[in-house]
């Protein structure tokens, strides 16, 4: 592990604590309405808001990962990426600690995010084929922040406003999932023989676990829209 990036591990730990504190503070502000808990709303509200801030950087980094632009000396790749990865992973780590009633698929998703983050740390953010695949996934995911905001508002919005927000979230999620699948396919198609390592295969297998959770959530949004 490169010492130059060890600060991002510290950021990961500190951010996890700060997010946990914010969940407790924000949870009290949400009304207790329906079967949706305040913790569930708080976790998604914080995650959606933070991802909205990360989205521009996520878009740039996912583009770099997909197109294979030069990384040597890149401020985006060697400074912004460790910071973004640490914050992104901290969101999922803190949500696992704070909200333990999440679905099994969501738990698997969150655990895989921690594994991917630690892999990036272990290789010092060297742009391996596996690293590029992970960054592409995370960068696109950050741009889907509206989905978490939709989940935070679950049960609070009604009528046309609820339907509109759900349609936007469903469209964003669908487009993001499509771009990720196409992007990962391009990375595999353009990979050199030396890039097709066992580690890359394991990363792609892990992404299937993330995809399962995405499918379940997309199915929920779709079924909700059909009932409106």
Q: What is the pLDDT of residues 7-18, one digit of tens each?
A: 899 999 999 999
pLDDT at residue number 69: 65
Please, which pLDDT band fits residue 104 given cuts at 50, 70 and 90?
very high
At residue 152, the pLDDT reads: 86
Residue scoring higher pLDDT (88 or 152): 88
The residue ranges of every structural domain in the chain are 3-227
Whether 209 shows a pLDDT value over 80: the answer reads yes
pLDDT, averaged across the chain: 87
**According to the model, what pLDDT value does residue 226 have?**
75
Q: Residue 97 burial (CB < 10 Å; 0-12/13-18/19+)?
A: middle
What mean pLDDT is predicted for residues 104-121? 95
Rounded to an integer, the average pLDDT of 58-67 is 91
Q: Choose between 46 and 222: higher pLDDT.
A: 46
pTM of the model: 0.91
DSSP H helices in 3-37: 6-27
**pLDDT at position 55, please?**
96
Q: What number is the average pLDDT over the span 30-56?
A: 82
pLDDT score of 136? 96
Average pLDDT over residues 174-189: 94
The confidence score (pLDDT) of residue 15 equals: 93
pLDDT of residue 36: 63
Calpha distance 87→74 (Å, rounded) = 20
> What's the CA gap between 89 and 12, in Å, rounded?
7
Q: How far apart are CA 182 and CA 190, in angstroms?
A: 12
- Render the burial of 145-154: b for 16+ CB within 10 Å, e for the rest: bbbbbbbbbb
Q: Is the pLDDT of residue 3 over 70?
A: no
């Amino acid at each position: 592990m490169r010492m130059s990036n060890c600060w991002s591990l510290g950021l990961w730990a500190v951010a996890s604590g700060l997010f946990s504190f914010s969940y407790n503070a924000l949870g009290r502000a949400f009304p207790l309405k329906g079967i949706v808990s305040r913790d569930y709303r708080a976790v998604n509200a914080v995650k959606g808001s933070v991802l909205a801030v990360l989205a521009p950087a996520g878009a740039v980094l996912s583009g770099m990962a997909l197109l294979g632009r030069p990384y040597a000396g890149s401020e985006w790749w060697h400074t912004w990426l460790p910071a973004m990865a640490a914050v992104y992973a901290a969101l999922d780590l803190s949500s696992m600690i704070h909200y333990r009633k999440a679905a099994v698929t969501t738990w698997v998703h969150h655990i895989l995010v921690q594994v991917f983050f630690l892999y990036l740390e272990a290789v010092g953010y060297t742009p391996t084929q596996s690293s590029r695949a992970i960054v592409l996934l995370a960068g696109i995911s950050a741009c889907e922040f509206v989905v978490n905001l939709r989940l935070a508002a679950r049960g609070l919005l009604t009528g046309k406003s609820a339907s509109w927000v759900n349609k936007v979230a469903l469209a964003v999620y669908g487009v993001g999932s499509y771009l990720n699948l196409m992007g990962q396919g391009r990375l595999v198609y353009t990979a050199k023989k030396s890039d097709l390592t066992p580690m890359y295969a394991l990363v792609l297998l892990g992404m299937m676990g993330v995809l399962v959770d995405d499918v379940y959530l997309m199915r929920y949004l779709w079924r909700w829209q059909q009932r409106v």
